[in-house]
């Protein structure tokens, strides 16, 4: 148990991972736009966005009720809700599912928070491995600067303040992101991440992403067929 396996559905799952500020959301958005405009069946899903679960997560974060264990479990619950209701059925139906963060985010964050790695992996083992995982690799210092440039106030958990790494949120954020980066690096080989140098221009990155996708996925099979008029 705790072994992750890959689905045998008609659909394909593409996940993006990387530090906050690595630009992965922009990249997956551009990928989504391209696939949509080309007329493929696409569905997009985002970390921590299930409506019902999100309410509890928000409350927990606000009141700082969360421990590493409940933090892990509530994110897993959120993921399961999206997985069971959308990701899995859509994969079965032959969609290209795009996930902005997937269970690797939990593996990295929860490990940094001290949860047992095997336990976390087992908890997520109901879900399939992605067909392609893009990892947007960026030096933590650059990612940190990007975040700090745009959004000067850091959220408590985002900065890893619950870990008591440093009294100063900026310092804490830097240490926390550094550790998450280490976790990603460890996973990159094991899970066969497609590593994208996130220090390059957005256009260059997107070009590479589209190239990998068209090489590894038989895109014409995912054309949305519209019956009737034409």
Partner 1 sequence: MKFYGKGLPNLNPKDLLGKLIVVEGADGSGRSTQIRLLTDWLEGHGHATVNVGLKRSTLVSNELATAMQGNILSPITLSLFYATDFADQLENTIVPALKAGFIVLADRYIYTLIARDIVRGGNPEWLFQLYTNIALVPDAVFYLDVAPRFLIERNFQKNASLNYWESGMDIHLSRDIFDSFLKYQRKMKAEYRQLNERFHFEIIRGNRSPRAISLEIQTKIEKLLTE
Residues that bind partner 1 (CB under 8 A): 1-2, 52-53, 55-56, 59-60, 63, 65-70, 73-74, 76-77, 80-81, 83-85, 113-116, 118-119, 122-123, 125-126
Question: CB-wise, 89 or 199, nearer to partner 1?
Answer: 89
Spell out the alpha helix ranges (H) of 38-116: 51-62, 68-82, 88-92, 103-112
Question: Considering the complex, what minimum distance in angstroms separates the CB of residue 34 from partner 1?
Answer: 31
SS3 14: strand
Question: CB-wise, 123 or 181, nearer to partner 1?
Answer: 123
Q: Could you say which DSSP state residue 6 is in?
A: B
Question: CB-wise, 19 or 115, nearer to partner 1?
Answer: 115
Contacts of 56 (CB under 8 A, 6+ apart): 74
Question: Considering the complex, what minimum distance in angstroms separates the CB of residue 52 from partner 1?
Answer: 6
Torsion of CA 42, 47, 51, 54, to 10 degrees: 180
Strand-pair partners of 97: 13, 43
Contact 27, 16 (CB under 8 A): yes
Question: Considering the complex, what minimum distance in angstroms separates the CB of residue 64 from partner 1?
Answer: 11
CA distance 76 to 82: 10
Question: Considering the complex, what minimum distance in angstroms separates the CB of residue 8 from partner 1?
Answer: 18
CA distance 230 to 228: 7
Find the length of the chain: 230
Question: Considering the complex, what minimum distance in angstroms separates the CB of residue 179 from partner 1?
Answer: 14
Question: CB-wise, 83 or 134, nearer to partner 1?
Answer: 83
Question: CB-wise, 76 or 108, nearer to partner 1?
Answer: 76
Contact 174, 140 (CB under 8 A): yes
Question: CB-wise, 73 or 217, nearer to partner 1?
Answer: 73
Question: Considering the complex, what minimum distance in angstroms separates the CB of residue 137 from partner 1?
Answer: 28
Instruction: List phi, psi (to 5°) of 173.
Output: -60, -45
């Amino acid at each position: 148990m705790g072994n992750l396996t890959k689905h045998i559905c008609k659909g394909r799952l593409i996940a993006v991972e990387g530090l906050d500020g690595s630009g992965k959301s922009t990249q997956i958005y551009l990928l989504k736009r391209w696939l949509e405009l080309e007329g493929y069946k696409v569905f997009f899903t985002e970390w921590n966005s299930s409506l019902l679960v999100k309410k509890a997560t928000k409350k927990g974060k606000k009141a700082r009720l969360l421990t590493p264990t409940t933090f892990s479990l509530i994110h897993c619950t959120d993921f399961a809700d999206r997985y069971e209701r959308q990701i899995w059925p859509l994969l079965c139906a032959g969609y290209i599912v795009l996930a902005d963060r997937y269970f690797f985010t939990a593996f990295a964050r929860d490990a940094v928070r001290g949860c047992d790695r095997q336990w976390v992996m087992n908890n997520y083992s109901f879900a399939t491995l992605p067909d392609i995982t893009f990892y947007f690799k960026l030096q933590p210092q650059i990612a940190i600067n990007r975040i700090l440039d745009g959004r000067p106030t850091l959220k408590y958990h985002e900065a890893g303040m619950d870990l008591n790494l440093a009294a100063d949120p900026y310092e804490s954020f830097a240490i926390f992101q550094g550790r998450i980066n280490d976790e990603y690096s460890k996973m990159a080989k094991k899970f066969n991440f497609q590593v994208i140098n996130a220090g390059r221009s957005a256009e260059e990155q997107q070009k590479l992403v589209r190239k990998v996708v068209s090489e590894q996925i038989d895109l014409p099979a995912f054309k949305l067929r519209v019956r009737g008029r034409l």
